[in-house]
Chains A and B, each alone.
Chain A
Amino acid sequence: MAATTTTRQAPVLPPPSGRAGFGGTLRSEFTKIRSVRSTYWTLLVLLAISIGIGAAICAGTAANWNQTSAADRATFDATQVSIAGLFYLGQLVIVVLGALVITSEYSTGMIRTSLTAMPRRVTVYAAKALVFAVIALAVTLVAAFIAFFLGQALLASTHENVTLSEPNVLRAVIGSALYVTLCGLFAFAAGAIFRHTAATITAIIGLLFVIPILIHLLPSSWYDDIVRWMPDSAGMAITATMAPQNSHLFSPWGQFSVFAVYTAILLIVGGILFRKRDA
């Protein structure tokens, strides 16, 4: 690095027209997310878990089908089983990416550089959320369909395997991707509130994993009243192709809407705090 670079001046910029807005910030956020390794790692792990766990469960089920009771066979949901890896474990992974998209800006200090370049904070927040959501949805859709087709192929010997044209199947497969994407956005919003990676991930995993386990310990009448308001119930409901065993849940889309509303509220709170607080 020579010390003689000061005399050179770069060519002048084209004259400005219009105003820096959402489009440029979207491109910027896409550059950010595609230019760090954590994005690729988390999405690879997501794909591996979704496809791998789904395949393992399906292969295991097929191998033990002869010993499976008639009652269990009657309630066997081939669609849900094949995508269980995605909606049950994949949500854990997407939560990490959703949180990192915003908390890494705080842990590295990049947020101050970002907001200096683009001081319109609502624009930055919305662009960040949208870029993450689109990428998360694209990858989870790929994961869902691969897991589904692979799972059905592995279940062929049971003759329980289904196709996308059967009732509720397409809704369940796409719904699993939507649910996992929503989990990621939920974590993103929490990240904007906590501004700390570990705190955010701990809180979200507590909410999506630990609390659902704990409420099973409640008296069943309490549990029945509460379960439909739990965020993770959306995942179970939207991926089921049969009538739910738990009659206290809303319809699949109704249950999904409960979580969607929670996420929307959290995104708005996160956005307000992102706008109002000192960076």
Chain B
Amino acid sequence: MIEVRGLSKRYGEKLAVNNLSFDVAPGKVTGFLGPNGAGTTTTMRLILGLDFPNAGTVTIDGKRYASMAYPMRELGALLDAKAVHGGRSAYNHLLCLAQTNNLPKRRVGEVLELVGLTEVARKRTKGFSLGMSQRLGIAATLLGDPKILMFDEPVNGLDPEGILWIRNFMKTLAAEGRTVFVSSHLMSEMENTADHLIVIGRGQLLADCTMDEFIARSSGQTVRVATPQPDLLVKAVAEAGGSAVNGADGTLIVSGLVAAQVGDLAFEHGVRLHELTVVRASLEAAFMELTADSVEYRGAESEQGQQPAPAQFGQTQSGQAQPPSPEQLVAQGQPGSEGGI
């Protein structure tokens, strides 16, 4: 378990991480999301003690990373696959890392085998493609067989095969009971891998909840309806405060109302329904909506303006997600509602 408490980090004028608190729970894949410059990489650097925070603490099972007896057995981290000396062979690179933690030499061969780099073990890493470097970096994280794994943008710049490999790898690691903490800008990638989400914007926590909850809370949720009497339904929906547009195959896409409300409306107005489907927003849409206020670089806008405090949800004292209450979910669909997030 990684415990982040009140973490702040300032680089010169820029507050990269601002009073951030969350837990990364064991045994699942936790996605760490944020727009560019949101502070995800900084937070990871602070967890590892590569940078020192201006305020707050990071502990791993109650201990500082640097005070661990064998750091590599506790946490394996890959922040930058190209952060290697290109003149050194893959084997020697891993060997010099393994030796710091008194790990046996044979372990180097084992992890090279595990990531499929055995054939290029004696090659200098200078000539490695990004995908090979990424595998080498993952091999390094596995040297100590750690309980916790942390990856920063592991699929960035990879080809589809590499992405699939990393995705499966992370799932395997989590299935083995390890904690996997992974950041990405690729929302679709997160949707495929993460169980839990921590979302930050401008260094502040925006959300800490399960993947399902995150998407469900997005006000981008719509209802697809197929009916032989579309005109009647459009009118009824409008009266109820929602809106309906024509979708594909003659269906209607209703927004602003939840499925139950649409069904009730249809019943009350005697409209026959052939289909009533909840269309869940993609993670991407939910993410865009949540972080709209906290995107770091957006055209020529001034960065100095006071930002409205980002809305938070899913936070309890322990930092664990709480299940969404029915009221909250319904409230999002009601007319005049600001939307849950």
Interface residues of A (CB under 8 A from B): 1-3, 5-14, 16, 18-20, 23-25, 27-29, 31-32, 35-38, 104-105, 108-121, 124, 276, 278-279
Contact = CB atoms under 8 A, between A and B. Distances in A.
B75 to A, nearest CB: 8
Given A27-B99, A117-B72, 12 more contacts: A5-B113, A9-B176, A10-B111, A11-B110, A13-B145, A19-B69, A20-B100, A32-B85, A35-B92, A35-B96, A116-B50, A278-B50
A1 B132 contact: yes
B145 A20 contact: no
A6 B135 CA distance: 11
Contact of A279 (B51, B68, B82, B107): B51
B36 interface: no
Contacts of A113: 83-84, 97, 140
A1 B142 CA distance: 18
A11 B104 CA distance: 12
A277 to B, nearest CB: 8
A124 to B, nearest CB: 8
B165 interface: yes
Nearest to A124: B100
Given A13-B103, A24-B99, A118-B100, A108 B83 contact: yes
B52 A278 contact: yes
Given A2-B116, A3-B161, A278-B51, A117 B89 contact: no
B176 to A, nearest CB: 7
A24 B69 CA distance: 12
A110 B77 CA distance: 13
A274 B56 CA distance: 22
B88 A35 contact: yes
Given A10-B114, A117-B97, A3 B165 contact: yes
A110 B85 contact: yes
B172 A13 contact: no
Interface residues of B, number: 59
Contact of B100 (A5, A13, A25): A25
A221 B73 CA distance: 63
A118 B100 CA distance: 6
Contacts of B107: 10, 13
Contacts of A13: 73, 103-104, 107, 144-145
A174 B164 CA distance: 60
Nearest to A111: B83
B73 A16 contact: yes
B285 to A, nearest CB: 30
A2 B145 CA distance: 22
Interface of B: 45, 48-52, 65-66, 68-73, 77, 79-80, 82-89, 92-93, 95-97, 99-104, 107, 110-111, 113-117, 131-132, 135, 140, 142-145, 161, 164-165, 168-169, 172, 176
A20 B71 contact: yes
Contacts of B131: 1
Nearest to B140: A113
B266 to A, nearest CB: 48
Nearest to A2: B116
Contacts, number: 146
A111 to B, nearest CB: 8
A28 B85 contact: no
Given A10-B142, A37-B87, A110-B84, A115 B104 contact: no
B172 A112 contact: no
13 contacts: A1-B132, A5-B165, A10-B107, A19-B70, A29-B96, A38-B87, A112-B79, A116-B50, A117-B97, A117-B100, A121-B66, A276-B52, A278-B50
B157 to A, nearest CB: 16
A104 B85 contact: yes
Contacts of B51: 278-279
B101 A24 contact: yes
B70 A16 contact: yes
Contacts of A5: 113-116, 165
Among A11, A121, A278, residue most surrounded by chain B Cβ atoms (within 10 Å): A278
A118 B85 contact: no
A276 to B, nearest CB: 8
Contacts of B69: 16, 18-20
Nearest to B109: A10
Given A10-B113, A113-B140, A32 B88 contact: yes
A28 to B, nearest CB: 4
Nearest to A5: B116
A151 B327 CA distance: 93
Nearest to A23: B102
Contacts of B142: 10
Contacts of B68: 119
B52 A116 contact: no
Contact of A36 (B45, B85, B95): B85
Contacts of A7: 172
